[in-house]
Chain A
Amino acid sequence: MNNALQKPVLTIRDLRLAFGDRRHQTPVLHGISLHIQPGEKVALVGESGSGKSVTARLAMGLLQDSKRTHVSGSIWFDGIDAAKGGPEIARRRGNRVAMIFQDPTSALNPTFKIRGQFRDVLRSGDRSISKDEADRRAEAALAEVSIPDPKRALDSYAFQLSGGMNQRVMIAMSLANRPQLLIADEPGTALDVTVQAQTLNLMHELTEKTGTSVLLISHNLGVVREFADRVYVIYRGRIVEHGTTAQLFNDPRHPYTRALLAAIPKISGGGLPDLPERSPEFENPLITHEGCGEPAEALS
């Protein structure tokens, strides 16, 4: 990890978020900082409600339009500050940054065939693309994710395809415009485990090939260990531990990370350890492993 030489793809600095009106605000994020290098796969791990999904949505500029969200801090991506939301980041969605969702079947529109939606995905990369050209590229993209009959898949509705197929379609859509950054929000959590593993491998393989950086949002430590180069652990809106995957899994230092790792069921038995749901220890300050600091001059 040579942070000094490369310019990160995504740099989040002291990101704070609160929901609510002016008088009653519920803070959700308390100053998140993280960065992703080109080609790097970074995981953001935490339990439900820890703020990992909203972080991803803020990075895409999807929440900022609402009057009820209050954002401060910065999200540097592709030369702009995405924390402000607005048309600058909107223009980059679908082509510079793309997203994969929890349940691929419900993330595809049930009243339009895949073909029409794929065309619109490709249009966000190239506004003037012709229908024939779009269809040709869509077929190629579907072939790339090992869909046996791309033409038939394009002429199907999402509900006619299996969950695994839809996930492949989603992956093909997300990478079709060769984005710099792919945000995967608990990808395939709604799928069964073998299909989930297959599609994660596929995603891993393709992003390696295209050099796309990945921000993986997950609560599944097994997936994170397989997939990510570096891990941020998030707890109640704060990053509590940050290190490479090996450092974090071999030498968890923060009490919350230890509790999280202890919660993985083991085949050797013994049942789940008795873990507290909350503990003042979990709020301990951030622990950063050796060589993993936030790049200092990336604020530019």
Chain B
Amino acid sequence: MSNILRSLLHRLGAALIVMIGISMLIFAIARVMPGDPARIALGPNATAEQVAALRLERHLDASLPVQYWEFVKSLATGDLGKSLYTNRPVTTDIAQFLPATLELVFVSGILMVLIGLPLGILSAHFRGRFPDHVGRLISLLGVCTPAFVWGVILQLVFGYFWGWFPIEGRLLEGTPIPPGPTGFYLIDMAMAGNGAGFLDALHHLILPALALAMSGLGQTARLTRSNMNEVYDRPYVEMARAYGFPARRIATRYAFRPALIPTLTILGLEFAAMLGNAFLVEKVFGWPGLSRYGVEVILRKDLDAIVGTVLVIAAAFLIVNIIVDILVNVINPRIRLAAGRA
């Protein structure tokens, strides 16, 4: 156990360095984009004095290193600055929009794993036969069709034609927004003991989550299939067959686990990529999430909000990667035991 802890600390340290690098980069990039953020924020009718005052207030005339130093100082107190557009602290904005995105991405990730892995296993188990062809078709469509197209298709078919699912939003109109504490409606509703509200939130989640999951789901199925096909040629699978292990048990255990190790790493990346892809899906489904907020603030050149959003998404990305690394270590005994010896 201690070696897993040690590798966790090691990875956290590396993640911190990455975060510092990202903060510098995005800080600089946001500021070299053309356009005067103070002018954009105040609008065309503001006077030159007003613009100058705002630039002074936000240290916009200072040199980049000085601005960065100011940013780091306030970051140390948990302050990410103020949005020029909403005029609220960036942390407040993020706290409002982040849970919606995370909830969407988590549910997508779960769908990706729960559908993608079995699809890949089925394809490999029935290699070259009918279930394999179906599985490959689904995963290919998943990979090559962008998430927003899936969003529109799902809305049309299941929302509009058949009317099974709502097309927009997180809850039905009139359903009271749960008071908290997490901002994840599924969890908040469950904690409040509101069964109808929970189902309502889930009902609204399924289509956008599926649309967002499709590409990762296809990728997962394809990877699982090809990694398992490779494993099926290994001597230890021949051994399993030669000793009469049931074919289903070989597919779900003896060929699946070795194949899962390389799949899992890519799965983590796919999961993290959803954080970015979520924007299109959020746009299509009117989902009030952070990705949408992020793009809006970039278009408005809202400096503090850009930096804050990017940092939060980067942190989420890094956390997911650390979790995946740990999972790989747990699943792969060779790494787990080697880490103990090192």
Contacts and interface: CB of A to CB of B under 8 A. Distances in A.
Interface stretch (A86-94, A226-234, A285-293): A86-94
Interface string B100-140: 00000000000000000000000000001000000000000
A281 B45 CA distance: 103
B243 A121 contact: yes
Contacts of B238: 62, 101, 107
Nearest to A173: B243
Given A108-B236, A160-B337, A124 B243 contact: yes
Contacts of B242: 60, 62, 93-94, 98-99
Interface residues of A, number: 30
> Mostly helix, strand, loop or mixed at chain A's interface?
loop
Given A101-B235, A109-B236, A110-B236, A93 B333 contact: no
Interface stretch (B58-66, B252-260, B270-278, B310-318): B252-260
Contact of B333 (A67, A106, A110): A110
Interface in A90-139: 90-95, 98-99, 101-103, 106-113, 117, 120-121, 124
Nearest to B254: A109
B243 A112 contact: no
B239 A101 contact: yes
A93 B253 contact: no
The residue in B332, B333, B334, B337 that gathers the most chain A C-beta atoms within 10 A of its C-beta is B333
A81 to B, nearest CB: 18
B78 interface: no
A148 B244 CA distance: 28
A103 B245 contact: no
Contacts of B254: 109, 112
B245 A94 contact: yes
Interface string B320-342: 00000000000111100100000
Contact of A124 (B128, B245, B253, B337): B245
B42 to A, nearest CB: 61
Interface string B227-244: 000000011101111111
A93 B234 contact: no
A120 B107 CA distance: 36
Contacts of A124: 243-245
B253 A112 contact: yes
Rank and list the top 8 A-B pairs by shortest CB-CB distance, nearest first: A94-B244, A124-B244, A94-B243, A93-B244, A99-B242, A111-B257, A107-B239, A109-B236
Interface of A: 60, 62, 67, 90-95, 98-99, 101-103, 106-113, 117, 120-121, 124, 157, 159-160, 173
15 contacts: A62-B241, A91-B244, A94-B242, A99-B242, A103-B235, A106-B234, A106-B235, A109-B236, A110-B333, A111-B332, A117-B240, A120-B243, A121-B245, A124-B245, A157-B333
Given A94-B244, A117-B240, 10 more contacts: A62-B241, A95-B244, A98-B242, A102-B235, A107-B235, A107-B239, A110-B333, A120-B249, A121-B243, A173-B243
